[in-house]
Structure 1
Amino acid sequence: MQSATAFQQLQHYLNSQVIGQEALVRQVLVALLADGHILVEGPPGLAKTRAIKSLADSIEGSFHRVQFTPDLLPADLTGTDIFRPETGEFQFQPGPVFHSLLLADEINRAPAKVQAAMLEAMAERQVTAGRKTYALPKLFLVMATQNPIEQEGTYPLPEAQLDRFLLHLHVDYPDAESELAILRLNRGEAQGVKPQQPEKLSQEDIFSARQAVLDIHMAESIEQYIVRLVMATRQPEKYDDKLKQWLEMGVSPRATIALDRCARASAWLAGRDFVSPEDVQSMAFPVLRHRLLLSYQAQAEGIHPNQIINHILSLVGSA
């Protein structure tokens, strides 16, 4: 319960720092609790960087931001062996990926070799440099961003790498009330006014909270509901002709595991000791939207993955 209170305080603090993006804050905490990585998509200036920096300032762990560019090399990310004349030997110099929280800004601007290095880090929690393999920190979270507006000079992320992201979040503009609060917050910060920051979460608290999330009760009917949602993406012809026309390929078992973990984390953050169908439904969008492979017909019709997920939720009952 002490960990739950600490996370609630952290959520309240992050909401005061990242105004008008409550969903983003909540999903970042869900990813932290479920031990997964996040892909955030939204126009520039919507506090994507601020969210992860505020989180990094609130927990015990190092933070680093990498601006992905077309000329980025794998060694710029993972590190490389450096020759030391005083010893006559090569010594490995760790790169930015060895921090606990890594912000991969505009990740789709990096070429294939960099994406391959990122995939190893995200999937295996390790980095291979030369003939040696180095383990990453036990607490390791990647928050990658994409700009949905400008696509020139970008490289689409491979399906295998997309599948390694626990959540795919869409960030939209705040409303007028939140915009005013942002204006006042910025003015206060310019004048040196800083809100009281809660005590930093220790990594022990985070790992303890992750165990508590796994202990959340999930009824067998909820487990079957998750499986039915997943199967609807793989066997759409059994549910609806429209769904069959929209989907080229369904989601992997990794999506089933992710939906289970995230639904548990959502329930735990809400202060409950059981998972409800609403937890599964709310997490279905960020868990599934980047894993669905849409048909050419769906793309031609301008169908968004959210529409497909909404349709699946209407077809598959939770009872």
Structure 2
Amino acid sequence: MSRSLLSITELGPEGVRRICDLADTMAEVNRRPNPKVPALRGKTVCSVFFEDSTRTRLSFETAAKRLSADTMTFSVSQSSLNKGESLRDTIETIAAMGVDAFVVRHGSTGAPWLVESWTEAAVINAGDGWHAHPTQGLLDVYTVRTALGRTGGLDGLRVAIVGDVKHSRVARSTTAAFSALGADVVWVAPRTLLPPVVGERSTEDLDEVIDSVDVLYLLRMQNERMSEALVPHLREYTARFGLTRERAARLGPGTIVMHPGPINRGVEIAVDPAELAGALITRQVTNGIAVRMAVLFDLLSADVTSHALAGGVPA
């Protein structure tokens, strides 16, 4: 067991399965009338977010509290970074307060690896640049696995990830997670929104694959990461790559529709997701808490006995 979670690749297929299995236990905890266990009592988890976040930050904080860990939240706008303090000095200062795990989001690729080199605490990558977002990938495969009732792999599952793949750390981590469990993944995007080197199967024609996919995973246009116009017009993008009402009608009866949020309604999704029988978008959010509980427990529970999960609330 590694002391950090930085990428799906480092976690490996066995690690992905381990977290998913552990998330089943955490999901059971979350269904209890009082969803709290003393599993990580005495541990401290610090969120260090240099980019805006709603789902990931609140999900990690909720997960830590349900495991009875103490939480700290680092506010960039109110920190000494505005006085010229370096990232390293910031991390070392917080670590000196007695932190067991850092949850780090940063706009620069590789930042969580640097943080890991500066602290003895566990480090969880909550998103670095365009590069990786491993817990999103984990919650995505866990959501599909539970929806389909599969307890093992996802062999033969056909997944289409559609949209701004080039700027999406979610696309990379979710692709890696699905591939680790045996799914077949295709990227669907205009050439301008694909990475320069495409290691995965790709196509510019959504209509070519939409009839045959088991999972349709939609991405938003990440305009905040773009320095130039990469599509002629959003209306044209929606016409070619959006889930329109016509395309929704072509989805198979068991097709799963997913989105990491936030949704740009009318762009990548031109229908109300609530009307789609296979939409699991809100379930992704719910499952994110169970998966992040599993990650925190996996990294911090070396000296915690198993009965801590079986019990109810802390005494």
The TM-score, its normalising length taken from structure 1, stands at 0.35
Structure showing greater Rg: 1
Higher relative contact order, chain-length normalized (CA < 8 Å, sep 6+)? 2
Normalized per residue, the structure richer in helix is 1
